[in-house]
């Protein structure tokens, strides 16, 4: 290994160092600024990977697949840190969080970014597992930070379900090693993506099949696939809103990335079971289930958490269908969902702060009392339900039409789920955005910039995707088969 600091070292070292430093810094203004700066540095390092990717070694691999995830992750991590800085100031003013909590919060935020970056660039399936476990534990601690009864219950539920998921994923990881060991030989090489994918055709197929079932259930718990999703709505609703945005926009994607990697191994082995139908089933069940659940929600953050389950279902469905077009659409949908959903959470976080409640019934007439926030919510909901011309429309259209060629009935079911969700979200949004305003009308203090920049990106992506990006996504889609 060379000692020259390449981009991957920055990706890991900066958040880790920032986390240690933030744990001891007393002033929250300074920590918030440092948090933003560190997240921005990580984003720059990630963007540089497009230009010059380091060669894979025993710890780290950068290929065309994970660059997409890393750049998306660090970008949303950065904008969420900007939002978090102003969000936190309000929490200090209202006394919901104290100085010690904030030190803890900022240190954990950077540690979470570190763990997610590590999970994405790890070449070793064991290292990736450890990183995802760390990310889970960090988010558990952050979900419970308000120490209310509901927050602790949510954190505990997340902890137990997440731990079981993590345990199943480890069993799958061990099985993968056992499948690889007779072919690749003992020791570290049998756990590296680079050697695994090369030798996948010779692996024992029954071991691979079994391993994938465990990995899909284990990491699928973290993706939030029904029926393993029970932790997700609580964790989103009770934690600080920047963390809801990070959970929905980033952590779910990291778990999805793990599933995709293992799917590649099975795709590479001609005798192994086809992973597609399993993923299609789980994806469809999640989408339709979440769409129905959306109708009975009374808490706005909980509602958008169910919307995340729906969208993760759509993405898993797309990758399950497979083929260049569906994979392309899945990748695009993942990116669009991350950007849109985190922006919605930025808006919802501010709304909850100015109104002092997360109850949908107690929020009315936002477009009158807070025009910017109100119209942002309207735009965000239109974008997430997949109305044209926003990016989500394009990706959902591609997914449904590519699935229609292969399995019309499945495509119709998915479309029905999407339409059901549209109905629920637009219905609830109307009540919140229009009508006569009730409750406090104090202006929002948080910065609207992160939210608006995400919305602008989503709108631009819906109208015009830059050709290099399209080429990149197409290349990755072919890689995924």
Partner 1 sequence: MKGLAFDVSHMLAGGLVLTSFLLLYQNRLYALLNMYSLQAVVLSLSVAWQAFVQDASHLYVTAFIALLFKAVVIPLTLHRIIARLGIQRDVENVVGAGTTMLAGLALVALAEVVMLRIAGGADVLAREDLAFALSVVLLGLLMMVVRRNAVSMVVGFMSLENGLILAAAGAKGMPLVVEFAVAFSVLVALVVIGVFLFRISERFDSIDAEALDSFRERGR
Instruction: State in angstroms the smallest separation of the CB of 269 from partner 1.
Output: 12
Please give the Cα distance from 405 to 412 (Å, whole number): 11
**Does residue 302 bind partner 1 (CB under 8 A)?**
yes
- Options 37-45, 49-57, 298-306, 370-378: segment touching partner 1 (CB under 8 A): 298-306
**Does residue 174 bind partner 1 (CB under 8 A)?**
yes
- Options 28-36, 229-237, 246-254, 414-422: segment touching partner 1 (CB under 8 A): 229-237
The answer to whether the beta carbons of residues 88 and 97 sit under 8 Å apart is yes
Instruction: State in angstroms the smallest separation of the CB of 322 from partner 1.
Output: 26
Nearer to partner 1, 191 or 383 (CB): 191
Three-state DSSP at 329 gives helix
The binder of partner 1 chosen from 21, 23, 164, 460 (CB under 8 A): 164
Instruction: State in angstroms the smallest separation of the CB of 204 from partner 1.
Output: 3
151-180 CB burial, b ≥16 within 10 A, e <16: beebbebbbebbeebbebbbbbbbbbbbbb
Q: What are phi and psi of 459, to 5 degrees?
A: -70, -45
Instruction: State in angstroms the smallest separation of the CB of 331 from partner 1.
Output: 30
Please give the Cα distance from 114 to 118 (Å, whole number): 6
Three-state DSSP at 192 gives strand
**Does residue 163 bind partner 1 (CB under 8 A)?**
yes
- Residues contacting 191, CB < 8 A, separation 6+: 124, 125, 126, 176, 177, 180
The binder of partner 1 chosen from 160, 438, 470, 479 (CB under 8 A): 160
Residues 110-149 that bind partner 1 (CB under 8 A): 124, 126-127, 129-130, 133, 137, 140
Among positive and negative, which fits the CA dihedral 46, 50, 56, 61?
positive
359-369 CB burial, b ≥16 within 10 A, e <16: ebeebbbbbeb
How much is the CA Rg of the chain, to the nearest whole Å? 21
**Does residue 175 bind partner 1 (CB under 8 A)?**
yes
> What binding mask, one character per residue, do residues 250-289 give for partner 1 by CB under 8 A, x or -?
----------------------------------------
User: Site residues (CB under 8 A) for partner 1?
Assistant: 124, 126-127, 129-130, 133, 137, 140, 150, 152-153, 155-157, 159-160, 163-164, 166-168, 170-171, 174-175, 177-179, 181-182, 186-188, 190-191, 203-204, 206-207, 210, 230, 233-234, 237, 296, 298-299, 302, 358-359
């Amino acid at each position: 290994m060379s000692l020259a600091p390449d981009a991957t070292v920055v990706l890991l070292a900066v958040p880790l160092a920032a986390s240690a430093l933030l744990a001891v810094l007393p002033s929250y203004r300074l920590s918030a600024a440092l948090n933003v700066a560190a997240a921005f540095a990580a984003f720059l390092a990630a963007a540089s990977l497009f230009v010059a990717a380091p060669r894979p070694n025993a710890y780290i691999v950068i290929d065309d697949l994970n660059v997409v995830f890393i750049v998306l992750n660090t970008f949303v991590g950065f904008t969420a840190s900007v939002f978090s800085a102003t969000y936190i100031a309000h929490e200090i003013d209202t006394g919901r969080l104290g100085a010690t909590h904030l030190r803890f919060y900022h240190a954990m935020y950077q540690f979470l970014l570190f763990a997610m970056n590590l999970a994405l660039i790890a070449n070793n399936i064991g290292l990736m597992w450890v990183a995802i476990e760390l990310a889970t534990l960090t988010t558990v601690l952050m979900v419970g930070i308000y120490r209310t009864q509901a927050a602790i219950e949510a954190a505990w539920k997340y902890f137990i379900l997440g731990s079981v998921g993590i345990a199943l994923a480890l069993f799958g990881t061990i099985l993968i090693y056992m499948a690889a060991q007779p072919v690749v030989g003992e020791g570290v090489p049998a756990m590296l993506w680079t050697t695994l994918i090369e030798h996948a055709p010779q692996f024992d197929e029954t071991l691979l099949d079994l391993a994938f079932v465990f990995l899909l259930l284990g990491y699928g718990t973290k993706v939030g696939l029904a029926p393993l999703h029970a932790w997700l709505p609580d964790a989103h609703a009770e934690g600080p809103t920047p963390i809801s945005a990070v959970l929905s926009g980033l952590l779910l994607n990291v778990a999805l990335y793990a599933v995709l990697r293992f799917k590649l191994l099975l795709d590479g082995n001609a005798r192994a079971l086809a992973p597609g139908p399993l993923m299609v089933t789980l994806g469809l069940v999640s989408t339709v289930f979440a769409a129905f659940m959306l109708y009975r929600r009374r808490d706005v953050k909980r509602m958008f958490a169910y919307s995340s389950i729906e969208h993760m279902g759509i993405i898993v469905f797309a990758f399950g269908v497979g083929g260049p077009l569906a994979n392309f659409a899945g990748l695009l949908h993942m990116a669009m969902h991350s950007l849109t959903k985190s922006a919605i959470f930025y808006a919802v976080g501010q709304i909850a702060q100015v109104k002092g409640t997360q109850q949908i019934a107690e929020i009315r007439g936002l477009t009158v009392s807070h025009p910017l926030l109100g119209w942002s919510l309207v735009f965000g909901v239109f974008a997430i339900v997949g109305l044209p011309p926003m990016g989500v429309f394009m990706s959902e259209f591609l997914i449904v039409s590519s699935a229609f060629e292969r399995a019309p009935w499945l495509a119709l079911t998915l479309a029905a789920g999407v339409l059901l969700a549209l109905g629920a979200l637009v219905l609830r949004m109307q009540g919140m955005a229009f009508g006569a305003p009730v409750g406090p009308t104090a202006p929002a203090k948080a910065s609207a910039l992160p939210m608006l920049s995400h919305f602008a990106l989503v709108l631009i992506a819906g109208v015009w995707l830059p050709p290099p990006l399209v080429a990149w996504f197409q290349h990755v889609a072919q890689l995924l088969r």
